[in-house]
Amino acid sequence: MEKTQILVIGRHPEILATVVRLVNNNPDWNATGCLSDEEAIAAFTTQDFKVVLMGGGVDERSENKLKKHFYTQKPEIKIVQHFGGGSGLLSAEIFEALSW
């Protein structure tokens, strides 16, 4: 079975690395982490992402820019805000997005 591709965007390298690691703990998921808008936009064109996870630190201007780009490229993409709360909440957010 092919893994579900998840794009994780954050502004803090240590937190982003932790979130990517937590997502990748699920054997059915593969996370790609990006620190900048440009990096996220470039990554989005290279893989078939099912979920975009936006972390804390992504300001409203960047969030709007990214959402516009992602929805234009792939209207069915699921975009989830994640502000922390541990691996259980993170997994629940992703499972919920995948069930839409």
Q: Where are the domains of the chain?
A: 6-86
Give the rounded percent of residues in the chain with a pLDDT score beyond 70: 96
Contact call for residues 34 and 9 (beta carbons, < 8 A): yes
What pLDDT does 1 receive?
Answer: 74
- What value does the mean pLDDT take over residues 55-80? 95
What's the pLDDT score for residue 87?
Answer: 64
Q: Under CATH, which number does the domain 6-86 receive? A: 3.40.50.2300
For the segment 49-77, the average pLDDT, to the nearest whole number, is 95
Give residue-wise pLDDT tens across range 18-46. Answer: 999 999 999 999 999 999 999 999 999 99
**What's the rounded Cα separation, in Å, for the pair 12 and 32?**
15
Whether pLDDT at 86 is above 70: no
